[in-house]
């Protein structure tokens, strides 16, 4: 009887055919990974024995997160306080909380207004108050994820390498394009770059150990490649910008957009939404005629953050962009679709996964790939922790 060579179907049906390693994680490897994440946690929450620690929380935050950080504090002789608001969507510090915040030296917050409230900003700049924002650490089980154990110091090196790519001595255009037809131009001056990069995160300081710092844990979000810091958060200040973007997704929508929906900006205002689909009509209602302003142009710097994850605050994978736009009116669509969203219903994060960004003549992002991942200093720093290619360019899909 003639031998029949295996067919493609035979390969698919076989119970033993395999060309990739097993996905089973042995306990020893999981333990090693978990403690690497815990070390990141402890180094970011750099609580000192003389700190006054305050939690600003909400009812949906995993209590184990609070307990874990409180345990770090108590191991150093610090007894934290906590104020729980009804929601994360707090847009300004409540008057009854101000005395607690003023007394604190170290604040851990899940509130949206943490970065924007003038009262909080003043305490950071004048008192040196240190802050950690927890948009991305709302569940203690996240410590088992790859982005939690990615070295915090390596995130900082990637950020510094990105900062070096901005021209510092001349005016230039930041140009954003994509295969769907996006073409948005933002005009920068040297002063704007200096102000934008004055943020501690742009200096690669992702641990809450510097006076006046504001960091995120997990270390994934920002700093923004353009945002209000470029104008020192002066009310009404904005860049000279114009053009249209065609995002692939936005918060509150079940699926990526099939239609090429265009959002057109003039200066920092949305002046038009292009498209005929229901999704375009929803975005039009959300952003046009309600003085919707570009609040931030965010980019991630942690290569192990899930590449196509847009919730809760825009994608934060390296090279993926989110256009955070604020209006003065709550969106009924967001109120219905994501009533307990971590951000206010006046905000919308529109996401692009394959944008190209140039700053002057320098390629910052190439089709969704952050070019600083190949910076010589970044690769050298990554080699301290393992294989640079695996750490920096093997993404979590």
Domains and CATH numbers, the chain: 27-144 (3.40.50), 153-202+221-393 (no CATH)
Positive or negative torsion for Cα 377, 173, 363, 223? positive
pLDDT number for residue 120: 97
pLDDT of res. 88: 96
Q: Is the pLDDT of residue 73 over 90?
A: yes
**248-292 tens-digit pLDDT:** 999 999 999 999 999 999 999 999 999 999 999 999 999 999 999
Instruction: Give the confidence band of 28 by pLDDT, cuts at 50, 70, 90.
Output: confident
Comparison of pLDDT for 25 and 115, the residue scoring more: 115
Asked whether residue 131 carries a pLDDT value surpassing 80, the answer given is yes
Q: Is the pLDDT of residue 388 over 80?
A: yes
Q: How far apart are the first and last CA of the chain?
A: 47
The helix-helix angle for 27-44 and 152-164 (nearest 10°) equals 60
| Phi, psi of 106, deg, nearest 5 | -140, 120
Q: Is 153 helix (H, G, I), strand (E, B) or coil?
A: helix
Do 359 and 186 contact (CB within 8 A), yes or no?
A: no
C-beta separation of 166 from 351 below 8 A? no
Which secondary-structure segment (H or E) carries 192?
helix 190-196
Q: What is the pLDDT of residue 16?
A: 84
- Sheet strands side by side (includes 214-216): 81-84, 53-57, 106-109, 130-133, 214-216
Q: What pLDDT, on the 0 to 100 scale, is given for residue 10?
A: 86
The count of other CB atoms within 10 Å of the CB of residue 36 is: 16
Confidence of residue 221 (pLDDT cuts 50, 70, 90): confident
Which is nearest to 69 in space by CA: 48, 88, 47, 85? 47
CA distances from 290 to 113, 181, 218, 330, 377 (A): 20, 25, 33, 9, 45
Return the pLDDT at 214.
96
As a residue count, the chain comes to 397
What percent of the chain has a predicted confidence (pLDDT) above 90?
87
- Cβ contact 201:215 at 8 Å: yes
Q: Which residue has the tokens 């975005």?
A: 283
pLDDT > 90? residue 44? yes
Residues above pLDDT 70, as percent of the chain: 100
pTM of the full predicted structure?
Answer: 0.93
Q: Provide the pLDDT for residue 258.
A: 96
Distance CA 76, CA 239 (A): 45
Lowest mean pLDDT among 227-236, 274-283, 285-294, 373-382: 227-236
The residue that leads in pLDDT, 292 or 1, is: 292
pLDDT of 32 higher than 90: yes
SS3 of 384, please? coil
* 310-355 tens-digit pLDDT: 998 888 899 999 999 999 999 999 999 999 999 999 999 999 999 9
Least trusted range by pLDDT, from 120-134, 157-171, 210-224, 255-269: 210-224
Provide the sign of the torsion angle of the four alpha carbons 388, 42, 228, 312, taken in this order.
positive
């Amino acid at each position: 009887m003639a031998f029949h060579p295996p067919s493609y179907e035979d390969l698919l049906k076989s119970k033993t055919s395999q060309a990739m390693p097993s996905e089973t994680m042995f306990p020893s490897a999981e333990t090693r990974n978990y403690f690497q994440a815990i070390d990141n946690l402890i180094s970011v929450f750099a609580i000192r024995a003389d700190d006054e620690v305050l939690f600003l929380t909400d009812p949906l935050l995993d209590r184990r997160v609070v307990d874990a950080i409180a345990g770090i504090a108590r191991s150093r002789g610090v007894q934290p306080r906590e104020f729980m608001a009804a929601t994360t969507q707090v847009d300004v510090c409540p008057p009854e909380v101000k005395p607690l915040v003023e007394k604190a030296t170290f604040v851990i917050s899940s509130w949206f207004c943490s970065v924007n409230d003038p009262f909080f900003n003043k305490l950071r700049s004048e008192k040196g108050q240190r802050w950690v924002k927890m948009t991305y650490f709302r569940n203690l089980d996240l410590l088992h994820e790859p982005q939690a154990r990615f070295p915090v110091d390596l995130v900082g090196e990637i950020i510094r390498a990105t900062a070096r790519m901005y021209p510092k001595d001349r005016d230039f255009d930041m140009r954003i394009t994509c295969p769907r037809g996006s073409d948005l131009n933002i005009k920068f001056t040297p002063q704007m770059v200096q102000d934008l990069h004055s943020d501690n995160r742009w200096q690669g300081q992702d641990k809450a150990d510097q006076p006046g710092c504001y960091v995120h844990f997990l270390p994934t979000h920002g700093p923004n490649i353009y945002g209000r810091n470029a104008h020192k958060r002066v009310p009404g200040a904005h860049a000279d910008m114009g053009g249209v973007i065609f995002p692939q997704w936005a918060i509150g929508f079940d699926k990526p957009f099939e239609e090429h929906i265009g959002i057109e900006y003039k200066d920092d205002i949305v002046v038009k939404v292009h498209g005929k689909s229901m999704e375009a009509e929803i975005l039009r209602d959300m952003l046009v005629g309600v003085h919707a302003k570009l609040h931030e142009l965010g980019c991630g710097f942690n290569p192990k953050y899930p590449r196509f994850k847009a919730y809760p605050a825009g994608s934060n994978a390296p090279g993926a962009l989110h256009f955070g736009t604020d209006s003065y009116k709550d969106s009924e669509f967001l109120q219905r679709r994501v009533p307990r969203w971590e951000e206010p219903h006046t905000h919308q994060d529109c996401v692009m996964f394959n944008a190209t960004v140039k700053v002057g003549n320098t390629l910052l992002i190439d089709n969704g790939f952050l070019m600083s991942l190949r910076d010589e200093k970044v690769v050298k720093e990554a080699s301290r922790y393992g294989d640079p290619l695996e750490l920096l360019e093997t993404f979590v899909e």
